């Protein structure tokens, strides 16, 4: 027992909930390696909390006052705010299999790593654990950056059709995941994602330096395992010179943006295209016009066939 009488956190229960039942009883060598990776990556605290590496997205609503001026508060709540913050919009989960992990494993399937959210005012933070099932740390961490990027592209694309512009940044690193039984996201990655999100001047998103580093490490691992033609990135990611505020130093190369406009976002491509913003007009404030012009320029970049792939 802990000094305050609380039961100490149980690593097995955390593995069961955070990773999946397979991690407690691996049945083959790959699963054994994956379970070992997960155990080595998770740290317990003295209270009922734990720390894990995660991909973290910080997503902000641009012009929330403008959104509220165009919709009734009831419409904003029902159509946008509630689904946005708790990820319950049918479009967000379209195509996903919603079954308990134990049932999936009994039927011979493996549940994907989940995405959870923490909201702060008009900002939402998302987190996703590494895909330790891949059996390699670098691949696991790179893949979670890619998968979270695809999900964030989906969110920006959907909300562009609702007239709600979003801006996002994705980082990678260790975070405190829970405090007691409540979700939390405390760590350097959260601060990095939030800081870079605020520096961008457009509707869109980016990978921060820590996420790019995770992606690079994964690319190196893939090349060692499978040859120089790997990895093959989805079109949710593209090299692009990011439009940042004038006083913001450029991040290290390569700069990687989220293609929310033409990317293949599972389950919604036939329902939504990324909707570019309407021209705010010549009398709009200079910063609003810059965001508009930068977003339109990125739309032209994404409209190329094929879209330029990520390069290191």
pLDDT in tens, 17-72: 899 888 998 989 989 999 999 999 999 987 778 999 999 999 998 877 777 787 78
Residue 96 has pLDDT above 50, yes or no: no
Asked whether residue 308 is assigned to any structural domain, the reply reads: no
The reported pTM is 0.89
Instruction: Tell me how far apart the alpha carbons of residues 121 and 210 are, in angstroms, rounded to a whole number.
Output: 25
Asked whether residue 6 is assigned to any structural domain, the reply reads: no
Q: What is the pLDDT of residue 9?
A: 61
Domain total in the chain: 1
Q: What is the pLDDT of residues 244-284, one digit of tens each?
A: 999 999 999 999 999 999 887 655 554 667 889 999 898 98
Q: What is the pLDDT of residue 234?
A: 84
CB of 144 closer than 8 Å to CB of 19: no
Residue 98 has pLDDT above 70, yes or no: no
Asked whether residue 1 is assigned to any structural domain, the reply reads: no
Query: What is the average pLDDT score of the chain?
Result: 85
Residue 101 has pLDDT above 70, yes or no: no
Asked whether residue 5 is assigned to any structural domain, the reply reads: no
Residue 102 has pLDDT above 80, yes or no: no
**What are the phi and psi torsion angles at 118 (to 5°)?**
-135, 125
Q: What is the pLDDT of residues 126-182, one digit of tens each?
A: 999 999 999 999 999 999 999 999 999 988 998 888 888 999 999 999 999 987 777
CB of 22 closer than 8 Å to CB of 105: yes
CA neighbor of 112 nearest in space, from 88, 83, 136, 148? 148
Asked whether residue 309 is assigned to any structural domain, the reply reads: no
Pairing of strands 182-186, 166-179: antiparallel
CATH code of the domain containing 273: 3.30.70.1230
Asked whether residue 310 is assigned to any structural domain, the reply reads: no
Helix (H) or strand (E) holding 141: helix 137-161
Asked whether residue 26 is assigned to any structural domain, the reply reads: yes
CA neighbor of 255 nearest in space, from 191, 200, 187? 200
* Structural domain range at position 210: 11-302
Asked whether residue 109 is assigned to any structural domain, the reply reads: yes
């Amino acid at each position: 027992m802990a000094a305050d009488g609380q039961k100490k956190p149980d690593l097995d229960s955390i593995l069961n909930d955070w990773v999946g039942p397979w991690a407690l009883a691996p049945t083959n060598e790959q699963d054994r390696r994956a379970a070992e990776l997960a155990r080595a990556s998770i740290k317990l605290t003295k209270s009922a909390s734990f720390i894990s590496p995660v991909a973290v997205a910080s997503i902000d609503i641009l012009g929330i006052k403008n959104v509220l001026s165009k919709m009734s508060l009831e419409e904003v709540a029902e159509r946008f705010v509630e689904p946005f913050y708790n990820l319950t919009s049918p479009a967000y989960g379209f195509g996903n299999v919603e079954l308990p992990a134990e049932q999936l494993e009994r039927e011979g399937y493996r549940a994907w790593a989940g995405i959870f959210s923490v909201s702060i005012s008009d900002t939402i933070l998302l987190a996703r654990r590494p895909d330790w099932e891949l059996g390699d740390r670098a691949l696991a961490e790179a893949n979670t950056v890619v998968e979270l990027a695809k999900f964030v592209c989906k969110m920006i694309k959907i909300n562009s059709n609702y007239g709600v512009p979003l801006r996002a940044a994705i980082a990678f690193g260790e975070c405190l995941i829970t405090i007691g039984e409540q979700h939390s996201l405390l760590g350097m990655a959260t601060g990095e994602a939030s800081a870079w999100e605020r520096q961008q001047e457009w509707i869109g998103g980016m990978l921060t330096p820590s996420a790019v580093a995770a992606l690079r490490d994964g690319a190196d691992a893939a090349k060692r395992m499978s040859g120089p033609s790997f990895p093959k990135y989805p079109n949710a990611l593209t090299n692009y010179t990011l439009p940042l505020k004038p006083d913001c130093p450029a991040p290290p190369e390569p700069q990687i943006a989220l293609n929310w406009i033409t990317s293949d976002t599972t389950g919604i491509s036939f329902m939504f295209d990324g909707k570019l913003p309407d021209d705010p007009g010549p009398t709009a404030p200079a910063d609003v016009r810059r965001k508009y012009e930068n977003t339109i320029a990125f739309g032209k970049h994404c409209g190329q066939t094929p879209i330029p792939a990520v390069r290191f």
